[in-house]
Amino acid sequence: MQNSFNLVGSQSIAPAPAAAIYGDKSVFFKCGFVSYQDTLFDSKGRHYFKDCYIGGEVDFIYGSGQSYYEVIYLTPTTKSDNILMIY
């Protein structure tokens, strides 16, 4: 899933998630999520992600969901000197 809003070169930058998850017990296998800012909104519930690709530039994953991420590929969408920080 890709959100092309806010791609490099856009006039303004604003949150634009590629996906928003509100349910409970959702499962994602071998999926891809790409956006510039706020790529995956894991709003609430319990979810499982395996073998997924998540690309973005700012706040890749955010929300209050209680999710388990197994073998996930987090990649910046541009070739910059940004530092990937995981909390």
Just list the catalytic residues: 38, 59
Alpha carbon distance, N-terminus to C-terminus of the chain: 24
Which amino acid appears at position 32 of this protein? Answer: G
Per DSSP bridges, beta strands 46-56 and 32-34 are parallel
Q: What are phi and psi of 51, to 5 degrees?
A: 55, 45
How far is Cα of residue 27 from the mean position of the Cα atoms in its chain?
15
